[in-house]
Amino acid sequence: MTRAANPFNSPLETGIRALTILVAVYPKLLDLQRLVDFDYLVVHSGDAGGPESLHVPLPLRPGELLVRRELIERGLRLMMSRGLIRRAVAADGIQYQASETASPFLKGLTSNYIEKLKERAAWLDHNFGNATDSEIRKTITQFFKEWTTQFQPREGKPGSR
């Protein structure tokens, strides 16, 4: 008996998210770190003052950034193998861009998740598309500060030690 593949955080899911982000920001090229950050912001858009997050807000969200890079790389490779994303070597490193077939491909996908993903990618481009790396890092770092304080014991409260 074979198990069905889990689509959650599979190369297909992360590749579709990366592709959707690249279509939203087209014709911009994004490096891997920007894609990782943007993927995080698309998935957790509610944390950044945007539309409701795509995924359920779990308390250990900050740990996602530790594994997200490899997942995005696998997704990018899958989408490149299908001609939907192109890779360009620039003076400052490798960058990625949606190919000319990416937008028509996404238009052919019809599900609630894909529609919500497209909306969040458009929101992302509008709110963070022209942000600097340091501005994006500051936004994401603020999430970490807020989440870690939620799990810290409060000092000085009666009955706490």
pLDDT value for 149: 45
Per residue in 20-78, pLDDT (tens digit) is 999 999 999 999 999 999 998 999 898 888 999 888 765 555 556 666 889 999 999 99
pLDDT value for 68: 80
Taking a C-beta distance cutoff of 8 angstroms, is the pair 19, 35 a contact? no
pLDDT value for 161: 46
Taking a C-beta distance cutoff of 8 angstroms, is the pair 135, 117 a contact? no
Global pTM value: 0.82
- pLDDT(4) > 50: no
d(CA 60, CA 63) in angstroms, rounded, equals 6
Taking a C-beta distance cutoff of 8 angstroms, is the pair 28, 97 a contact? yes
Q: By C-alpha distance, which of 63, 73, 55 is closest to 11?
A: 73
d(CA 124, CA 65) in angstroms, rounded, equals 18
Q: What is the mean pLDDT of residues 92-117?
A: 95
Tokens of 18: 């990366």
Angle of helix 11-25 relative to helix 64-81, nearest 10 degrees?
A: 80
- pLDDT(156) > 70: no
Query: Which fold is adopted by the domain 11-136?
Result: Arc Repressor Mutant, subunit A (1.10.10)
Question: Per mean pLDDT, which range of 60-69, 83-92, 98-107, 144-153 is the poorest?
Answer: 144-153
Ranges of each domain in the chain: 11-136
% of the chain surpassing 70 pLDDT: 77
Strands in 93-98's sheet, in edge-to-edge order, are 30-31, 93-98, 85-90
pLDDT value for 57: 65
pLDDT value for 92: 85
